[in-house]
Amino acid sequence: MNKGKRSSVPSRVLAMAAALAAITPAVQAEESSLKVDGYLRQELSWNLLNWADTPGYDDRRKLSMFRTTVRVNSEWKATDDITVVGKFRATRETKTDFLRHLEKMGANNYGSTNGRGDIMDLYNEAEIRELYVDFPLGDRTKVRFGKQQVAWGETDFFAANDLVHGFNLTWRSFLEPANEELRKPNIMAKINVDVPELDGGVEVLIRPGWDRTKDIGTEIDIYGGRWSSQPYAGVDFRNIDPYDYKNKEGNYRKVTGGVRWSGVAKDINYSLSYLNTFYPSPILNASSTLGLFGMPTTPSGATTVGRSNTAGVAGDIIYPIVDVFGLTASGYSNLADAVFSTEIAVIKDAPYQILAATPTPISQAVAPGFDGIKRKDVLAWMLRMDKNIAATQTWLGTEKPMFFSMQLFDKWIQDYKREDGLLNSVGWGGRTKEHSFLLTGIFSLSYDNGRVRPEFVIGRDITYGGGFAVPSVTMELSKSLRWKVEYDKFWSDKWRDGTQCTYPNAASCDNSGLFGYFHKRDQLYTSLTYLF
């Protein structure tokens, strides 16, 4: 991602749009049909706690987000067989006092000449979300070509197989329930071939490498913004470890893709897949030389991958390409009166940050994880049960049974050795364990013919501790107007204390896990959506 260019429409996307128009046959106006819909949405959020990493500033009750979004979806049926779909989104935010304070602290200041950047470059955008054409090839084959989203998986939260695309978690993090709003679309050809003789079909994905750099990998807030992880508010890490999208381990121009078979066997829906894709989590490629904070340029002890040395003084951020072998299955159980689903993914050579037995001076001075990368095969899996609970009609007066979903996630590292020093993430000292279990639950109610929908989402990190709870209610004010109010609560017994993690103790002074990253980040969120 380049500072100041989030709102631009790249020339390759415009070229693709022209190509789509060129391959669409000319038709008479009366033979075509155009459908347009979308929404206008206003979103606001407030901090509910005083952040631990904004000294001298009281964050409580400060407006953290004032976001206005317009989304337009169009579908043009050019002929009986050819359809062109376009989805466009523009977002503008107001620079609140809280965002202005983060900006003064240094948020999004990478590349600035005066040490101050414009934090609004992180949030304001106008983009073509999707633009593709659907057309058939014979009786069994359908082709979709263009910028699009493809979801491979069964999970609501932490993906195992849904790794075709990365996600943008800088403005809303993982709490946004509509994955299509966070997912980064890519320019691809998707080919579906029906095989009715075997009760299934084949789907082939080819991504030719025409995307922008910012469309690759899952983007977390390393810029010091609203969803930066504690204790790094106001810290733009690109100043010491910028992105490297051309690294040989994960060049954004490389052709990627996959193939999936989906079918039905004795009332069980299943799929088998292979995917060659960018590892979703950003990985810190540590510098092999020193030079940080006036240190002499000498070997650091870390091994840089994909190039002779890194673009930044401490390293750079890469998205290595991995192979993923996946399986999904779902079916209804009469005994439990519930739908059970599973998702399994074998990720070959998944990259992990490491904490060396003798940490590099950069790790000792900055944070754990600047010691290099180690690859491990990982078996990621999920089990889910979806069930309607009729008792809530009596207990809680709901108009229909409550929808309940429970999901258990795990990442099982193969050939695990504690002495490898694997870390959950760069910047925190929490050691990765052989299994990483996470349990989530969704309770969804309905009143007044679906016009009032309370929901409660809860998650518990079984392995590392901590969790989250998100109670919310969505109200249908009219046919076109929706209002949602939500409380985002996080907790953890372990978090990184930035005041104590200083040289030479920065490499090993904490054990924070996932929810330690969200320490003091509780928020009140509301949105008002007008559908048209």
Question: What is this structure's pTM?
Answer: 0.90
**Does residue 31 carry a pLDDT above 60?**
no
DSSP 3-state assignment of 376?
Answer: strand
Angle at alpha carbon of residue 87, lines to 84 and 92, rounded to 5°: 160
DSSP 3-state assignment of 442?
Answer: strand
pLDDT tens digits, one per residue of 463-517: 999 999 999 999 999 999 999 999 999 999 999 887 778 888 899 888 898 999 9
**Does residue 325 carry a pLDDT above 70?**
yes
pLDDT tens digits, one per residue of 34-61: 999 999 999 999 999 999 999 999 999 9
Q: Which two tokens stand for residue 35?
A: 């459908």
Mean pLDDT value across residues 256-261:
98
pLDDT of residue 441: 96
| % of residues, the chain, pLDDT over 70 | 92
Alpha carbon separation from 47 to 60, 371, 525 (Å, rounded): 5, 35, 9
Largest CA distance in the chain: 74
pLDDT tens digits, one per residue of 191-226: 999 999 999 999 999 999 999 999 999 999 999 999
pLDDT of residue 158: 76
**Closest by CA position to 438, among listed 151, 154, 152, 159:** 159
**Does residue 19 carry a pLDDT above 70?**
no
Mean pLDDT value across residues 65-93:
97
Q: Which two tokens stand for residue 220?
A: 């977390």
pLDDT class of 24 with cuts at 50, 70, 90: very low
**124 Cβ contact partners less than 8 Å away, ≥ 6 residues apart:** 6, 7, 91, 92, 93
Q: Which long-range contacts (CB under 8 A, 24 or more apart) does 290-298 make?
A: 290/361, 290/362, 292/240, 292/361, 292/362, 292/365, 292/366, 293/365, 295/361
What residues form DSSP beta bridges with 125?
91
pLDDT of residue 502: 85
Q: Which two tokens stand for residue 175?
A: 């709490």
Mean pLDDT value across residues 182-192:
97
**Residue 477 main-chain phi, psi, to 5 deg:** -75, -30
pLDDT class of 15 with cuts at 50, 70, 90: low
Mean pLDDT value across residues 356-373:
92
Q: Which two tokens stand for residue 461?
A: 């990190």
pLDDT of residue 255: 98
Cα–Cα distance for residue pair 209/386, rounded to 1 Å: 38
Centre a 10 Å sphere on the Cβ of residue 127 and count the other Cβ atoms it contains: 21
pLDDT of residue 3: 43
447 with 406: CB under 8 angstroms? Answer: no
pLDDT tens digits, one per residue of 268-295: 999 999 999 999 899 999 999 876 555 6
Question: To which residue do tokens 């059970």 refer?
Answer: 340
| % of residues, the chain, pLDDT over 90 | 81
Mean pLDDT value across residues 314-341:
96
The runs of H, that is alpha helices, within 122-198 are: 179-182
**Does residue 347 carry a pLDDT above 60?**
yes
pLDDT tens digits, one per residue of 103-153: 999 999 998 888 889 999 999 999 999 999 999 999 999 999 999 999 997
